[in-house]
C-alpha cells in the first residue's frame, strides 16, 4: 500500500484536467448495447477504468486502451453463455459503477446477472431505483445469492417516475436510458438525473443510433430502436477533478489556471469559490482562480446537479476550515459522507458533525499529521489539507485516490507541490 508524504506548498502555474471518470464508466457500459466497434477518446488512466475494462472483457469484449483511447470490439457472439451476462462480485465489489452494466446487458442479451454492490464508506447506497425502473420496463428482477438477476424476452417502453428519497439517481438514470434504448416503444423517464455525465451518455447513445431527447432535463424521452451500431466519442472534462483544483487553489492561497474544463459544468462550484472570496475568471475551456485574501465562511449544501456536487463536499470543507467565521455544510445526497471530518480535525481543524450537518469554526492554520484516506474524494480533501498545513503530513491508504484522479501527484508536482509517494 502506498502513502503520500506532503509538505506545505505554495502552488503556481497551470494544470490540465483529464477526461471524466464518471462520464466514461457508463459510456463504456453502453458499448454492451452493440456488437460493433466503439472508439472512446480522452478516457482517463485510472483504476476504476481498468476495472470496467476487466468487466467488459469478462462480458465478451476485446479492448485496447492506449494513449487515453479505448477501442472496444466484441470478441465473439457470447449471447447467453454464462460468461456473456455475468458481472462477477470480485470485480463489482471494487466499483459500484459496474452496476450500470445491468441495463445494457439486459436490453441486448435479454439476461443479466450483476453482483449486488455492497455498502461503502460514504453510507448505504441502495439500488432500488435501478431495479424499479427495469421492472417497469417489463424485466423480471430477483436478488439471488448476492447477485441481481434480470431477464426479459422483450422490454417495453413505459412512463417511469425515477425520483427517490434523495432526489434523482445518476446511475439509475443511466441504466434505464440504456435499457430503454433497445425497448419496444416510448419510455418517459421522469425525475431523471440532469448531470452532464448523463447528457454525455445520451450524446453517445445518439451516435450509436438511439432516439433519445431531453438529456440535461428531468424528463428524458427514449423511443426504442431495434439495434444500435458502433460510435466514436470524446469524453467530457472531469468537473470533479477541476473542482478539486479550485479547492486546492483556495486552501493553499495559490493562483492557478485550470485548463481543459467546461466552466458551464461548474457554475455552483464557481459560485461557492466566489462566496468564499476567490476570484474566478472564466474562459471558454479554462478557469483562472485567484484565491484573494482572507477566506469567508459560507453555508454550503450539496444537491443533485446543477446544485453543489457531493463529490466536492470534502475538498471544500478543507477551504472552510481555513476561512474566517463559522460555516455550515449540509450533505443532502449522502448524509453519512463525513469520514474525513475526524481526519481533518486531527490536523487542527474544528469541525463538529450532527447528522447530515457539519459546523466548521475557521482556523488560521492546519498542522501536519498522519491521516488516513477513507474514500476517493476524502483522499483528495486530505491531500489539499496537507498542502495547506504547516509541516509534514502523511496521507495513508492513497489507493483510493488512484481510483479517480489521473496522475494526481504528477499534476501537483508540476504546480510546485512537495508531494512524494512512498510504500506505507
**Does 172 contact ligand UD1 by CB under 6 A?**
yes
Buried b (16+ CB within 10 A) or exposed e, 107-117: bbbbbbbbbbb
Closest CB 324 distance from ligand UD1, rounded Å:
29
**Smaller CB separation from ligand UD1, 9 or 22:** 22
Task: Count CB neighbours of 270 within 10 A.
Answer: 19
Shortest reach from residue 194's CB to ligand UD1, in Å: 11
Half-sphere exposure of 216 (CA within 13 A, CB side): 6
170 scored as a contact of ligand UD1 (CB under 6 A): yes
What residues form DSSP beta bridges with 111? 151
Q: How many CA atoms lie within 13 A of 347 on its CB side?
A: 34
Q: Based on DSSP, count helices (H) and strands (E) in the chain, helices before strands.
A: 14, 24
Q: How far is the CB of 334 from ligand UD1 (least distance, A)?
A: 6
Grid coordinates given for 7:
509538505
Minimum distance of ligand UD1 from residue 380's CB (angstroms): 12
Near ligand UD1 in 16-75, by CB under 6 A: 22, 25
Binding to ligand UD1 by CB under 6 A, coded x per residue (else -) over 195-214, reads --x-----------------
Q: Which of 67, 82, 165, 364 binds ligand UD1 (CB under 6 A)?
A: 165
Q: What angle do CA 96, 101, 107 make, to 5 degrees?
A: 150
Q: Which residue stretch of 6-14, 121-129, 250-258, 406-414 sits at the interface with ligand UD1 (rule: CB under 6 A)? A: 121-129
Which helix (DSSP H) or strand (DSSP E) does residue 123 occupy?
none
For residue 86, the cross-strand partners are 113
Q: Which is nearer to ligand UD1, 111 or 130 (CB)?
A: 130
Under 8 Å between Cβ of 5 and 394: yes
As a whole number of angstroms, the distance between CA 326 and CA 422 comes to 36
Residue 171 near ligand UD1 by CB under 6 A: yes
Q: What angle do CA 362, 10, 295 make, to 5 degrees?
A: 25
Q: How far is the CB of 22 from ligand UD1 (least distance, A)?
A: 3
For residues 166 and 288, which CB has a smaller minimum distance to ligand UD1 in the complex? 166
Residue (171 or 289) nearer to ligand UD1, CB: 171
Measured from the CB atom, the residue of 189 and 417 that comes closer to ligand UD1 is 189
* DSSP 8-state code for residue 295: P
Closer by beta carbon to ligand UD1, 80 or else 124: 124
Is 102 an interacting residue with respect to ligand UD1 (CB under 6 A)?
Answer: no
Say how many residues touch ligand UD1, by CB under 6 A: 23
For ligand UD1, the closer CB: 60 or 117: 117
Using the rule CB under 6 A, which residue among 10, 65, 126, 151 binds ligand UD1?
126
Contacts of ligand UD1 in 297-336 (CB under 6 A)? 309-311, 333-334
Annotation says 120 is catalytic: yes
* The one catalytic residue among 38, 100, 101, 120: 120
Stretch that binds ligand UD1, among 58-66, 158-166, 214-222, 320-328 (CB under 6 A): 158-166
Q: Which distant-in-sequence residues (6+ apart) come within 8 Å of 302 by Cβ? A: 308, 309, 310, 313, 329, 330, 331, 332, 333
CA distance linking residue 211 with residue 190, whole number of Å: 17
Rounded (5°) CA angle 285-287-291: 175
Enumerate the active-site residues.
120
Interface with ligand UD1 (CB under 6 A) = 22, 25, 96-97, 125-130, 164-166, 169-172, 197, 309-311, 333-334
Amino acid at each position: 500500500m502506498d502513502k503520500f508524504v506532503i509538505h506545505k506548498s505554495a502552488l503556481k502555474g497551470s494544470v490540465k484536467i483529464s477526461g471524466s471518470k464518471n462520464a466514461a464508466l457508463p459510456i463504456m457500459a453502453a458499448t454492451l448495447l452493440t456488437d460493433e466497434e466503439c472508439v472512446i477518446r480522452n478516457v482517463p488512466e485510472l483504476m476504476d477504468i481498468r476495472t470496467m475494462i476487466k468487466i467488459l472483457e469478462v462480458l465478451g469484449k476485446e479492448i485496447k486502451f492506449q494513449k487515453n483511447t479505448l477501442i472496444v470490439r466484441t470478441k465473439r457472439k457470447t449471447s447467453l453463455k454464462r460468461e456473456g451476462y455475468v458481472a462477477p462480485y470480485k470485480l463489482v465489489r471494487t466499483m459500484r459503477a459496474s452496476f450500470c452494466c445491468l441495463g445494457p446487458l439486459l436490453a441486448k442479451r435479454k439476461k443479466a446477472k450483476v453482483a449486488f454492490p455492497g455498502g461503502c464508506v460514504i453510507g448505504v447506497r441502495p439500488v432500488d431505483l435501478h431495479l424499479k425502473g427495469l421492472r417497469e420496463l417489463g424485466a423480471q428482477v430477483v436478488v439471488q445469492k448476492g447477485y441481481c438477476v434480470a431477464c426479459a424476452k422483450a422490454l417495453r417502453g413505459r412512463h417511469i417516475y425515477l425520483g427517490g428519497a434523495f432526489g434523482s439517481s445518476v446511475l439509475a438514470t443511466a441504466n434505464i436510458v440504456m435499457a430503454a434504448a433497445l425497448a419496444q416503444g416510448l419510455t418517459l423517464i421522469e425525475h431523471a438525473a440532469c448531470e452532464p455525465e448523463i447528457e454525455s451518455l445520451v450524446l453517445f447513445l445518439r451516435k450509436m443510433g438511439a432516439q433519445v431527447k431531453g438529456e440535461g432535463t428531468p424528463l428524458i424521452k427514449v423511443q426504442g430502436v431495434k439495434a444500435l451500431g458502433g460510435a466514436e466519442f470524446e469524453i467530457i472534462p472531469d468537473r470533479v477533478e477541476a473542482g478539486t483544483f479550485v479547492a486546492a487553489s483556495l486552501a493553499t492561497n495559490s493562483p492557478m489556471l485550470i485548463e481543459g474544463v467546461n466552466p458551464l459544468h461548474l457554475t455552483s462550484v464557481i459560485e461557492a469559490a466566489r462566496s468564499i472570496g476567490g476570484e474566478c475568471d472564466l474562459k471558454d475551456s479554462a478557469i483562472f482562480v485567484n484565491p484573494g485574501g482572507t477566506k469567508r465562511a459560507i453555508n454550503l449544501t450539496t444537491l443533485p446537479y446543477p446544485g453543489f456536487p457531493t463529490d466536492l463536499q470534502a475538498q471544500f470543507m478543507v477551504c472552510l476550515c481555513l476561512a474566517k467565521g463559522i460555516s455550515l455544510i449540509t450533505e443532502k445526497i449522502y448524509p453519512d459522507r463525513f469520514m474525513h471530518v475526524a481526519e481533518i480535525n486531527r490536523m487542527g481543524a474544528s469541525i463538529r458533525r450532527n447528522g447530515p450537518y457539519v459546523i466548521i469554526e475557521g482556523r488560521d492554520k492546519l498542522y501536519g499529521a498522519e491521516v488516513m484516506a477513507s474514500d476517493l474524494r476524502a483522499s483528495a480533501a486530505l491531500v489539499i489539507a496537507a498542502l495547506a498545513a504547516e509541516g509534514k503530513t502523511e496521507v495513508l491508504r492513497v489507493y483510493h485516490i488512484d481510483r479517480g484522479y489521473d496522475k494526481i501527484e504528477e499534476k501537483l508536482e508540476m504546480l510546485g507541490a512537495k508531494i512524494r509517494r512512498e510504500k506505507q
